[in-house]
Amino acid sequence: MLGCATALPPHYYSQEDLLQGLEQLWREQHYNGQRLRQFHQAMGIAGRHLSLPREDYLKASDFSQRNRAFAQVSLELAERVVSDLLNQSQVCAEQIDFLVYTSVTGLSVPSLDAQLMNRLPFRLDLRRLPLFGLGCLGGAAGTARLADLLKGKPQSHGILLSVELCSLTLQPQDLSAANLVASGLFGDGAAALLMGPAASGRPAVVDTRSVFFPNSQEVMGWNIGSHGFSIVLSPQVPHYAQEHLGPALVQFLEDHQLSPADIKAWVAHPGGPKVVDALQQALGLPTESLRTTRDSLQKVGNLSSASVLFILAEVLKRDYRPGDYGLMLAMGPAFCAELVLLKW
């Protein structure tokens, strides 16, 4: 891992500002405004960045309009974050051999990675891999798949790009508990990770593991219809983190003669306060182990696949000793998880 950059859209609002806007939107429909307030306050989020000015979300818009906004904002963020990544890593676009792109909050054909080819001077033989449908899992899974690609060409360079504009999936007509929770949890952002030949002071991917939980597809995902993306978000997510992900993670570490206590850097996706608590309890971790995860959630909210890369960017700023281990992990639709073991 040679570098990681992040980018946020310019429209920032405190959690209270966003709550007031939603209260205005749902005032006549929502039978229990106090419940909405409780959901938002329970997240422990200070504020979030949005793709559009807050007032634009109060206007009637269909899926086509929102997806056009995704196409415009996502390309702007993608160009900015990849340019920043290349500049800070002192690597030229022409040196990039692979580009993996993940998102689950907007659709475009050609995909965003192809559109980015017309903005940045990548080689015309760049190998692209767009990933859709992985949800919050995408940042960890994309890292793992890029590592797989680079195994066959260890001197090559590859970029993982994540752009998630969760605010554009807001469903004004949906008063389900899942949508009310999502309206207080998710934010917008983009991140890009550069991987390539081993470098001093940087972690390498030691191993990866995909974990699938059978008969759990109703736990998380989208129902996609004429209104666009409608959230599927079960209250069982913390249960899966504690009862299923915890044991799978411990087994993964044991296969490398490690335990949770051996992990110095936790790069854990911030699914939500209850999910983070459940993971901490399942692994018997001290509170400080997941501090970076909690801080990221508090500052910008859950950014779906981009969140784990935001956390990784913070981890890469710190000094670790050669031989220290880190673990990247996330859960997502299916229901499933992705684990990435790192070593400095």
Distance CA 65, CA 240 (A): 35
CA 173 – CA 72 distance, rounded (Å): 25
Within its chain, how far is the Cα of 31 from the centroid? 32
The SS3 assignment for 197 reads coil
Bridge partners of 190?
7, 163
Assess contact for 112 and 103: CB atoms under 8 A: yes
Residues 6+ apart with CB under 8 A from 223: 229, 230, 232
Residues catalogued as catalytic: 136
Angular region, 260: left φ>0, alpha ψ -120 to 50, beta rest: alpha
Residue with tokens 């073991």: 341
Is residue 112 within 8 A of residue 311, CB to CB? The reply is no
Q: Tell me the CB-side half-sphere exposure of residue 13, using CA atoms within 13 A.
A: 21
Segment (H or E) for 88: helix 63-89
**Cβ neighbours of 156 (radius 10 Å):** 16
Token pair belonging to 217: 């597809």
* Residues whose CB falls within 8 Å of the CB of residue 234, separated by 6 or more in sequence, listed in order: 178, 218, 219, 220
- For the chain, first and last CA: distance in Å? 10
Collapsing DSSP to helix, strand or coil, 44 comes out as coil
Bridge partners of residue 19, in order along the sequence: none
